[in-house]
Structures are given as C-alpha cells and as structure tokens.
C-alpha cells in the first residue's frame, strides 16, 4: 500500500478514498465491490456471506456454504472444520515463512479504533452507497 504508514488514521483515509489494494479502480472501495455483485445475489452460483454471520452462527453458515457448494459433510466433519478454522486456531497456526496479521476476530472491535468523526463519515458513505439495497451490516455483537 504505497504511502500508507501502517497507522490507523492513514489506513482509514486511504480506505475512504478508495486507495487500498485489491480493488480494480482508483476510488473504488468496499461498498463498490459489494454492489458489483449485488445484481447477481439470487443467481445459483453466488452466495453472499458475511464474517459477522459466520461468527454468530458458525455451524448454520458452514452448512449453508456446504449446501451451496454441493458438498456433504458429517456433523463430525463440520465440528472439525469449525475447530480448525476458528480465529484462535488460525491465529496460532504456522504458515511457514509467511507473516500473517490478525487483530481480535471480534464483532464490534471497530469501536476501539474509529473516532466519532470517522464512524459518522463511514456510516454516511456506506448509507449513501447501499441505501437502495437490502444489505445490512452487523456492527455489534
């Protein structure tokens, strides 16, 4: 991320301005990515899943993903997948020489980083982008 120091405020400003890696165009940001898929949300080959839904209802969401993929898993396999993909397990796993970055894996941790002004601006920008959709974000547990 050119020009981003690793400090929260710098990342936030880059994110709001659409200057973060992983997006195809300058100025495009996360809600634009969501909106690019929104017209296809009912297609048979598209599944909208959120981290918050998985975090709150892990087993149910995992079974939905398996059904979507046409993969059958036993209850024991589902339990194993849940254990091995848990935040704590993945945070402590070895990934060779690759350095992985994990925060807390908690819904609502944004409150420990955003200022009131940052939160209000983010809410306004997301509301402006997504108000014509039924997309809802879970901000707190």
Contact 110, 139 (CB under 8 A): yes
Contact 73, 65 (CB under 8 A): no
pLDDT digits (tens, 9 = 90+) for 47-84: 988 888 888 899 999 999 999 999 999 999 999 999 99
Q: Compute the half-sphere exposure of residue 75: CA atoms within 13 Å on the CB side of its CA.
A: 0
pLDDT digits (tens, 9 = 90+) for 4-29: 567 888 888 888 887 776 665 666 77
Helix axes 8-17, 116-130, angle to 10 degrees: 20
Contact 124, 16 (CB under 8 A): no
* 3-class secondary structure, 1: coil
Q: What is the reported pTM?
A: 0.69
Domain boundaries defined on the chain: 1-43+102-132, 47-97
């Amino acid at each position: 991320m050119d020009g981003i120091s690793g400090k929260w405020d710098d990342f936030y400003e880059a994110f709001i301005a659409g200057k973060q890696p992983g997006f195809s165009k300058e100025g495009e940001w996360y809600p634009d990515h969501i909106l690019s898929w929104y017209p296809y949300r009912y297609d048979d080959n598209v599944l909208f899943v959120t981290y918050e839904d998985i975090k709150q209802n892990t087993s149910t969401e995992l079974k939905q993903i398996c059904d979507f993929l046409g993969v059958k898993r036993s209850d024991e396999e589902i339990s194993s997948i849940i254990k091995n993909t848990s935040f704590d397990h993945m945070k402590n796993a070895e990934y060779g020489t690759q350095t992985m970055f994990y925060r807390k894996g908690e819904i609502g941790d944004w409150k420990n980083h955003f200022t009131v002004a940052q939160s209000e601006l983010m809410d306004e920008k997301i509301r402006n982008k997504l108000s014509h959709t039924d997309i809802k974000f879970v901000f707190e547990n």
